[in-house]
A and B are shown apart, each in its own frame.
Chain A
């Protein structure tokens, strides 16, 4: 399978939770950050690791700091 994710060092994220919290659909978030909606899906399933630029764009779109959305260690989901 062709993915940009390094299986030895995954990048975890809370994109889906943050996206739902601000009321955005995948398509809307994709339009805001300039990617295809499927790429948002891949990101949320952690099957693709974004570039720094894309990670910063996503964090800005979700009104959060990039370190609150992305991490090299597993993140706690839900409250």
Chain B
């Protein structure tokens, strides 16, 4: 994962690679894919329920869980690359146009955050066990919490990647 040092952000702002992430259409597809991955992470809390409903011994093999974890981490890094790290960059490293789009997208992210929290509150209310990392018979809500934290961290970049035409 990229860090948030001055050198990292300057490198992201000047990055000439990952051209497939520079078009708005591709970035929107990427955002949808990343949102799906976050949903898969949250669904890990219902793993035991899924096993009961579908009457299978092993619904999600271990390697699939590892793949989802790696995809989440890779998706988070690529998301920051797609928006050149602008969403997290401090004022002094951005020009006025970049500051303007960063601030505008934070405003939309904050509005969306309320709806995101409501969705997760609903998920937690129906999660088998709302205490994280517990060893209950039916499982726990750890994955829902992890997905929520990743969503909150990614939201500004996701909104920017979706809304901006060229970055």
Chain A residues in contact with chain B, CB under 8 A?
1-4, 34-36, 38-39, 41-42, 48, 50-51, 54
Contacts and interface: CB of A to CB of B under 8 A. Distances in A.
Interface in B90-115: 95-98, 100-101, 104-105
Nearest to A37: B14
Given A4-B97, A36-B13, A36-B98, 5 more contacts: A1-B164, A1-B165, A3-B100, A38-B166, A48-B97
Contacts of B96: 4, 35, 39, 50-51, 54
Chain B interface, >50% SS class: helix
Given A2-B104, A2-B105, A39 B165 contact: no
B116 interface: no
Nearest to A41: B166
B165 A38 contact: no
A34 B104 CA distance: 21
Interface in B56-102: 95-98, 100-101
B165 A35 contact: no
B35 interface: no
B95 A36 contact: yes
B83 to A, nearest CB: 12
